[in-house]
């Protein structure tokens, strides 16, 4: 998994975190963070991602296992000696200090000279485009500005690594998307390793080099955004990462990864790619296919071709979402770009529907019965 070929920066070696002697929040975690990478811990609340960050920051001690930084164990290193820049969800700006004083704080703690502090604060403020606001109090700043100050304060002392705990959670959608790019730019400029915790999958997909999807204290899947999105290895990851059509059926034939599945007895079979493990004929499997993979034509390479009746059309500006009823298969949601369609869709119309076998993932056993929605 090492991307840069060098030794990993951080290693979680079989780490457990148990609260109150019984609640296991992090369960046998093994995780490596590479030098300079942007790693996102993604998962629903209570999945253990924030606890993982807190343990790395030194605010929580692992119940079992060790965390190594640059090969040295961190367990007995107090937070103030870890040299990590941390951005908190509520920013944790010191309300009794000006913006410049907030930035100077970590440098003062490191006993830098006054002149040094001045130049570095100035430089960092320039980096996040806040030069004009250095003498304001945090309470006089907008949410976005506060976020930038928090980011600048975490970077000003050139930490060995940056940890961010849902740093954009309090911002509105537009500002959030803007800041995502801003953080991405800073990461590329500084080349510093960043650990980012979020529950927002689109944020994770936009920013990360790698994503670790957490659930119930364990990493369900780790890999590049493309990998995790396109090739989820479990129904949880598939449904957490974006929207999915979900069908349960019975295996008719299985050859390697290639399976054909019958959804309703006596109905047609659909072809899908097995996401992992092995299945036998007559096993129950869950099938998942993303709405954007469903084409409204009979594509040449597509193994699954049907006719569907339009049950509902919802206009979304750049695309339309169609609910399609395919006899013997079920209701599928398709997402169709508006620009390509000169045609109007009307409920009741019959349209050609197709998708490739590779884009339909088959998971052994019945997955969790939550509906397919991660958007």
* Tokens standing for residue 79: 């937070």
Judge contact between 138 and 102, C-beta under 8 A. yes
**Integer Cα distance of 165 and 82 in angstroms:** 17
Residue 93 touches another protein, criterion: CB under 8 A: yes
Judge contact between 353 and 295, C-beta under 8 A. yes
Site for another protein in 218-247 (CB under 8 A): none
Closest by Cα among 341, 319, 339, 322 to 331? 322
With residue 335 as reference, give the H or E element that holds it: strand 330-337
From 2-10, 52-60, 286-294, 314-322, span contacting another protein (CB under 8 A) = 52-60
From 88-96, 116-124, 199-207, 322-330, span contacting another protein (CB under 8 A) = 88-96
Residue 144 touches another protein, criterion: CB under 8 A: no
Q: Which is nearer to another protein, 29 or 155 (CB)?
A: 155
Q: Which is nearer to another protein, 11 or 103 (CB)?
A: 103
Partners of residue 273 on adjacent β-strands: 258, 361
Considering only 5, 71, 95, 317, the residue that binds another protein (CB under 8 A) is 95
Residue 167 touches another protein, criterion: CB under 8 A: no
Residue 88 touches another protein, criterion: CB under 8 A: yes
Tell me 295's DSSP state.
Answer: B
Residue 281 touches another protein, criterion: CB under 8 A: no
* Tokens standing for residue 355: 């998708």
Residue 67 touches another protein, criterion: CB under 8 A: no
* Tokens standing for residue 223: 């890999």
Closest by Cα among 368, 323, 315, 359 to 341? 315
Residue 120 touches another protein, criterion: CB under 8 A: no
From 149-157, 335-343, 350-358, 365-373, span contacting another protein (CB under 8 A) = 149-157
**Integer Cα distance of 52 and 233 in angstroms:** 22
Q: Which is nearer to another protein, 6 or 61 (CB)?
A: 61
From 146-154, 218-226, 312-320, 346-354, span contacting another protein (CB under 8 A) = 146-154
* Tokens standing for residue 219: 């990493």
Residues that bind another protein (CB under 8 A): 57-59, 61, 78-86, 88, 90-96, 105-106, 109-110, 137-139, 143, 146, 153-154, 157, 170
């Amino acid at each position: 998994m090492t991307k840069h070929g060098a030794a990993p920066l951080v290693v979680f070696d079989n780490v457990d975190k148990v609260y109150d002697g019984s609640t296991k929040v992090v369960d046998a975690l093994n995780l490596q963070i590479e030098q300079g990478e942007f790693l996102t811990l993604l998962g629903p609340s209570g999945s253990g991602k924030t606890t993982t960050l807190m343990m790395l920051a030194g605010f929580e001690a692992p119940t079992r296992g060790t965390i190594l930084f640059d090969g040295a164990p961190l367990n007995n290193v107090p937070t103030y000696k870890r040299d990590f820049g941390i951005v908190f969800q509520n920013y944790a700006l010191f309300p009794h200090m000006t913006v410049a004083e907030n930035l100077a704080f970590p440098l003062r703690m490191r006993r830098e000279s006054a002149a040094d502090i001045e130049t570095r604060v100035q430089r960092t403020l320039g980096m996040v485009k806040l030069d004009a606001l250095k003498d304001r109090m945090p309470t006089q700043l907008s949410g976005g500005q506060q976020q930038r100050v928090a980011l600048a304060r975490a970077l000003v002392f050139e930490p060995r690594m940056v940890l961010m705990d849902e740093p954009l959670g309090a911002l509105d959608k537009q500002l959030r998307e803007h800041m995502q790019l801003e953080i991405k730019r800073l990461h590329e400029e500084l080349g510093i390793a960043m650990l980012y915790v979020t529950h927002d999958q689109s944020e994770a997909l936009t920013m990360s080099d790698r994503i670790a999807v957490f659930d119930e204290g364990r990493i369900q899947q780790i890999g590049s955004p493309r990998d995790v999105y396109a090739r989820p290895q479990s129904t949880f990851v598939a449904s957490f990462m974006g929207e999915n059509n979900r069908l349960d059926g019975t295996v008719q034939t299985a050859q390697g990864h290639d399976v054909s599945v019958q959804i309703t007895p006596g109905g047609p079979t659909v072809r899908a790619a097995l996401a992992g493990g092995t299945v036998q004929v007559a096993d129950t499997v869950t099938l998942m296919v993303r709405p954007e993979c469903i084409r409204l034509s009979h594509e040449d390479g597509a193994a699954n071709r049907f006719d569907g009746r339009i049950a509902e059309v919802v206009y979304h500006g750049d695309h339309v979402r169609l609910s399609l009823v395919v006899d013997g298969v079920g209701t599928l949601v398709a997402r169709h770009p508006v620009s390509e369609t000169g045609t109007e869709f009307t409920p009741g119309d019959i349209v050609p529907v197709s998708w490739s076998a590779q884009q339909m993932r088959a998971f052994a056993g019945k997955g969790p019965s939550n509906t397919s929605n991660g958007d």
